[in-house]
Chain A
Amino acid sequence: MRRRPGIAGLQNQAAARDQYRLVGDHVAKLRTDMMKEQLETFRSQLEDFARKHKNDIRKNPAFRAQFHEMCAKVGVDPLASNKGFWAELLGIGDFYYELGVQIVDICLATRSHNGGLINLQELCSLLCQRHKVARDAVSEDDCLRAINKLKILGGGFEVISVGKKKLVRSVPTELNKDHNEILELAQVQGYVIVDEVEKRLSWSSGRAIDTLETLLEEGLAMIDDGHRDGRRRYWFPCVASVPGATG
């Protein structure tokens, strides 16, 4: 279009701009509507799916984990509220709240034995023992979700990774890098010896003893002087490879 000077030219330009904007808005609206519709369909499909597989979701921990993953991808959190559609449909909120209460219970009951640090696997098997009556299996994924919910309460519940294992911490102890490395080392046999710690981590003897003493004070470690070779072993009930005493 040749640019013409004058009022008429300016008016034409403005009109054309308005037209473009109108068309643009229309297209955008169409797109949003379409997206909305798609999302709506997806949501209802997901709901249908949930309704259809309600029992699987409740009973089968692997299925439950996958369902959660799927929900997370589309931005639906079945645990977000206990009142919404999802909770009513699945009763899933209650499930995790109950689990949370039981986790707190177990952590308290075993605290004097393990100092407030418990192996996720052990916690899970203790939960399963309780659920035997109800015949619902509980997976580690379920435990993690329930613990995540507990965080809101600010009770200092946290999951920490030490080596390959996950530990659940129910006391406000801060574990530093040194503590973690020792716990990781202890996972092999359930205990460590000062000499070995020094050798494996190339630490000075003071550093190893100091760290072990702290863990001892925190109730996370127990000493064992009963071995024939006379070397003191530091055992860690939280990584117990021997069935731990729970009461």
Chain B
Amino acid sequence: MQRVGDFKLPSFFNYPPYFTLQPVRETREKQVQLWKELILDYCRTLKVFTIGLEEDFPLFSNPEIQRTLTHEAREVFLSALVSEGRAEWINKGHKKCLILWMRIQDWADCVLRFVRDNGLEDSVMTVEDIRSGIESRGTELEGIDRTVLMRALKLLEQKGKVAIFKGTSADDEGVKFSA
């Protein structure tokens, strides 16, 4: 079994035709399904938040069988994730994709749990601190993508759970958690 870091690749990754978009509908559906699961699993395990379509993303080619996904195939698989709400195109040109292996709602719940566990109600933190501060070390929030975190915080703000404000220095933003 092939591995990338800690990630165990599924056996279909070694079967060449899975790297060519299949013309027959049922076969294609199965193919897209397998790739969707693979991309989500991979990103979850290795904490990958963005995939660039033009980049050398490890899943896009398998040197062992000398197969590489075409640009079209990459876009099909990622679009399938987008249509399920498990990914979002970052720019209009479909060049970069944000992978939501946890939905924004789930990330928001993470933030709330984090606040509760650390007794941070009524206190203020910078966004950067949430991502890389001591408190978040070892939690799911460690190293979270800034865009994803901001989206989660905005969702919480809508629900009145936090307040986001511009920081005094630099361009970092501050967050006040409500009790």
Contacts and interface: CB of A to CB of B under 8 A. Distances in A.
B17 A113 contact: no
A223 B22 contact: yes
B169 interface: no
A225 B20 contact: yes
Contact of B30 (A112, A233, A242): A112
A191 B16 CA distance: 10
A156 interface: no
A224 to B, nearest CB: 4
Interface stretch (A11-19, A140-148, A214-222): A214-222
Given A113-B30, A219-B26, A245 B19 contact: no
Contact of A226 (B14, B20, B24, B27): B20
Contacts of A226: 16, 19-20, 66-68
Contacts of B52: none
A220 to B, nearest CB: 9
A244 B30 CA distance: 13
A237 B15 CA distance: 9
A225 B17 CA distance: 8
A233 B10 contact: no
Contacts, number: 60
Contacts of B27: 112, 115, 219, 222
B16 A233 contact: yes
Contacts of B26: 112, 219
A86 interface: no
A224 B11 contact: no
Contacts of B22: 222-223
B17 A235 contact: yes
B148 interface: no
B68 A243 contact: no
A224 B17 contact: yes
Interface string A133-163: 0000000000000000000000000000000
A227 interface: yes
Interface in B16-48: 16-20, 22-24, 26-27, 29-30, 34
B12 interface: yes
Contacts of A115: 27
Contacts of A199: none
A191 B92 CA distance: 39
B165 to A, nearest CB: 49
Interface string B58-73: 0000000011100000
Contacts of A112: 26-27, 29-30
A120 B177 CA distance: 61
Contact of B24 (A219, A224, A233): A219
Contacts of A113: 12, 30
A216 B17 contact: no
A245 B11 contact: yes
Interface of B: 10-12, 14-20, 22-24, 26-27, 29-30, 34, 66-68
Interface of A: 112-113, 115, 191, 216-217, 219, 222-228, 233, 235, 237, 240, 242-246
By Cβ-Cβ distance, the 10 closest A-B pairs, closest first, are: A245-B12, A222-B17, A224-B17, A226-B67, A112-B30, A235-B17, A224-B16, A243-B11, A225-B20, A226-B19
Given A226-B67, A235-B16, A242-B15, 8 more contacts: A217-B24, A219-B26, A222-B20, A223-B20, A223-B23, A224-B16, A235-B17, A242-B11
17 contacts: A113-B30, A219-B27, A222-B22, A223-B20, A224-B16, A224-B17, A224-B19, A226-B16, A227-B16, A228-B66, A233-B17, A235-B17, A242-B14, A243-B11, A243-B14, A245-B10, A245-B18
